[in-house]
Amino acid sequence: MPEISIVLPTYNEKDNIGPLIEAILANLDRPIQIIVVDDDSPDGTWQVVQEMARNDERIQLLRRTNERGLTSALNAGITHAKSDIIAWMDCDLSMPPQKLPELVVALAECDLAVGSRYVKGAKDVGHSFAGRAFSWTINFCTALLLGFAIRDYTSGFIAAKREVFDQITLRGDYGEYCIDLLHRARKKGFKIKEIPYCFVPRKSGESKTATGMWGYFRRGIKYVILVLRLGFTPSKDL
């Protein structure tokens, strides 16, 4: 049995996925399961993973041809995970695989470890000024309503014990799933710890994050609606 399962949701990350998998395997010296959930990437990402999986049984490919979306991809990966520790991260090399061991070790003291851009020692050099401003504003406003116990509500760089997902199924469309997960986990009594890391620019390919003021506005509306709903929903109904 693997000690840790890593879920990697991909769409058009052909040039990034190979180096990312190699870096994960190099940094986690323990039995591991890597689950790449690919939404039938037209650039051939799934073919790169398929070739790697032929030579390494630790790597598994879930190629989805009739379903799309980040949150549903993560849920699919969680369902296929075999270990008691489940982690995931972005696949554009903006999040350092070198931090995964620290997230895993932190689970000795908590139930859910979060790679954070907004605690002491962290940094965000991967977003434009507008992107940083949008992210900071969303996180600050979320903390105002849901609590400052968490600083990076939109992290997306997570390691957690399986017990968390026995009680919580990821909900949402894109990055707002992380706000929902962290708030519900805290309200259910799970202990959360944030680990600082440096968010860097993607290595290759096109960003899936919103760009431009209109894109940030459209995505921001979803976040605001979710935060308001969570803030005014009794804990027992989450």
For residues 32 and 1, give the distance between their C-alpha atoms in angstroms, rounded to a whole number. 8
pLDDT single digits (tens) 135-192 = 898 999 999 999 999 999 999 999 999 999 999 999 988 889 999 999 999 999 999 9
Residues in a beta bridge with 86: 5, 160
**The residue count for the chain:** 238
Residues 6 or more apart in contact with residue 112 via CB below 8 angstroms: 158, 159, 160, 161, 164, 182, 185, 190, 191, 192, 193
Q: Are 153 and 182 in contact (CB under 8 A)?
A: yes
Q: Are 27 and 98 in contact (CB under 8 A)?
A: yes
Name the more confident of 132 and 171: 171
What is the rounded (10 degree) CA torsion for 161, 165, 171, 174? 30
- For residue 215, the model assigns a pLDDT of 60
Angle 169-233-156 (CA atoms, 0-180°, nearest 5)? Answer: 40
Q: Are 61 and 53 in contact (CB under 8 A)?
A: yes
For 85, how many CA atoms within 13 A lie in the half-sphere containing its CB?
21
CB atoms < 10 A from the CB of 187, how many?
Answer: 16
Angle (deg, nearest 10), helices 176-187 and 212-231? 20
Q: What is the mean pLDDT of the chain?
A: 92
| AA letter at 34 | I
Residues 6 or more apart in contact with residue 165 via CB below 8 angstroms: 78, 86
Q: Are 108 and 167 in contact (CB under 8 A)?
A: no
- For residue 12, the model assigns a pLDDT of 95
Per DSSP bridges, beta strands 32-38 and 112-116 are: unpaired
Q: Write down the pTM of the prediction.
A: 0.92
**Token pair recorded at residue 144:** 């105002």
- For residue 214, the model assigns a pLDDT of 56
- Domain 4-237 CATH assignment equals 1.10.1070.20: no
Kindly calculate the radius of gyration of the chain based on its CA atoms and give it in whole angstroms: 17
Listed by start position, the domains of the chain span: 4-237
Angle (deg, nearest 10), helices 70-80 and 176-187? 50
- For residue 235, the model assigns a pLDDT of 82
